Amino acid sequence: MVNKLTIKQLLGLSPNMKIQSVVCTERHGSDYGGWTIKQNSITRHSKILSAGIGHDITFDLSIINKYGTNVLAIDPTPQVSEWLSSQSLPPNFVYLPVGLAANDGETKFFKPSDSSHISHSQKPAHGGSQDFITVPVLSIKSLLYNYNWGHIDLMKMDIEGFEYDVIHHIVQHNIPIHQLLVEFHHGLYGFTNSDTTRSIALLNRSGYNIYSISPTGREVSFIKE
């Protein structure tokens, strides 16, 4: 039986990609905000970076609950800060109200057209709102320096179009990341299947292999052994 991802690829709605490494996996988080990671690959000493959390931190909390590790969660969206202030959070959940980008500084964060949505983006959606806010951003290199991390064991990125520049930054600076979970935004904000294909090829050349692909073809888990 042909699966949903294959159909999307045949229709040109998703770039062609395939599993490149076979590993045992486990799922953490809700149907909406969950991710697949390598089974039993985390310890309480692992360095975890969760970039882009919105109003769904079920992935982060699941990792914390199973492994007792700290999770550094970053998101510059004002509504995220407000929402988190009303949540009962474990001390292992460390929040920093900044965005992830290829360079340090400030950047435009375009508001969603639907005011009931929370996800801001690097570029305005097609035909969408041109309104934006200005938010602080840091590169992974700076985050590692600020927290005195020598590497990252697991990094998740759901950063609404910023992932393409950040992937280039990771490769350019040879940043040591064992598992990299990326939500790609081809077909949104002016990004295309080719943008995602190029980013995957860049990661492949740097030693990252795909071990999980969601049915939507957007959430992709990479591992560098």
Domains, the chain, in order of start with CATH, read 24-223 (3.40.50.150)
Residue 109 to residue 17: CA distance in whole angstroms: 29
Q: Are 217 and 196 in contact (CB under 8 A)?
A: no
Q: What is Dmax (Cα atoms) for the chain?
A: 49
Q: Which token pair is 166?
A: 């950040």
Residue 156 to residue 62: CA distance in whole angstroms: 14
Query: What is the model's pLDDT at position 2?
Result: 59
Query: Angle 193-205/163-172 helices, nearest 10 degrees?
Result: 20
Residue 134 has pLDDT above 70, yes or no: yes
Amino acid at 64: I
Residue 143 to residue 138: CA distance in whole angstroms: 7
Report pLDDT digits (tens) over 64-82.
999 999 999 999 988 899 9
Least reliable range by pLDDT among 7-11, 152-156, 178-182 = 7-11
